[in-house]
Amino acid sequence: MQRLRQAPFALGFGAPSPSPGTQAARRQGRTDPTGTGPWRLPAPVVTVISVPGPGPSHGSGTHGKQGTTNSFVRRVGRLLGWLLVLAALASLAYDLVRVAQGGAFWLSPLGQIWFSIDPGSLNLSQAVIERYVWPPLWDPAILWILQLPAVFVFLLAGLLLLLLLGRSRRRFGRRRWFR
C-alpha cells in the first residue's frame, strides 16, 4: 500500500541510478543542489481521516453529538421543504388571482416570477454561472427549469426534501412492532 502512494520514479521505473557520489550521478543532477549529499525523497505522508461511526447513542432515544447534528440537518431540510411547498401554494394563488381578474388560466413559469421579483439577481446568476461555473449548465439545464411552471418546480423540490428528510424510520422500528 505504501508503494502506491510514492512517486512513480521512486517505484523503480526508468534506468537504475548510479551511486550518489559518482560523477555520473552529478551529471544527471541526482545530487543535492547544496552538494552535501544525495538527493533523497521525503517519506510518504499518509493522512488518516477519522469518520465517527455509530456510537452507543445510535438507535437509542438519547442523542449524542452525532445525533444532534443529524437532527439539526433534518429539521432545517424539512423546514426548507415546507417553505417550498408554501411557495408552490403562493404561486398557484398568484395564478388564480390573475384568472379572477379576467385573464386566461395558465401557470406562470418560474423564470417569469423570478424576473418580476428581482431581475438583477436573475441576470447576475446567469452571468456567474456562464462565466465561472460551466456555460452549458445555464442554457440547456437551468433555462429549462426556469421555463417550467413555478407551482410544479416548488412542489416537486419541497416534496422531495420532505420525503428524503422526513421523520426517522427508527421511531417506528422493531421495538414498536416486534416487541
| Mean pLDDT across 116-125 | 95
Spell out the residues 6+ positions from residue 74 whose beta carbon is closer than 8 angstroms to its own.
165, 168
pLDDT for res 166: 83
More confident residue, 12 or 92: 92
Quote the CA–CA distance of 90 and 82 in Å, as a whole number: 12
**87: pLDDT strictly greater than 80:** yes
Q: Which residues are paired to 109 by β-bridges?
A: 149
pLDDT for res 151: 97
pLDDT for res 99: 93
Quote the CA–CA distance of 22 and 41 in Å, as a whole number: 19
Looking up cell 408552490 gives 88
Query: Domain residues of the chain, as ranges?
Result: 81-169
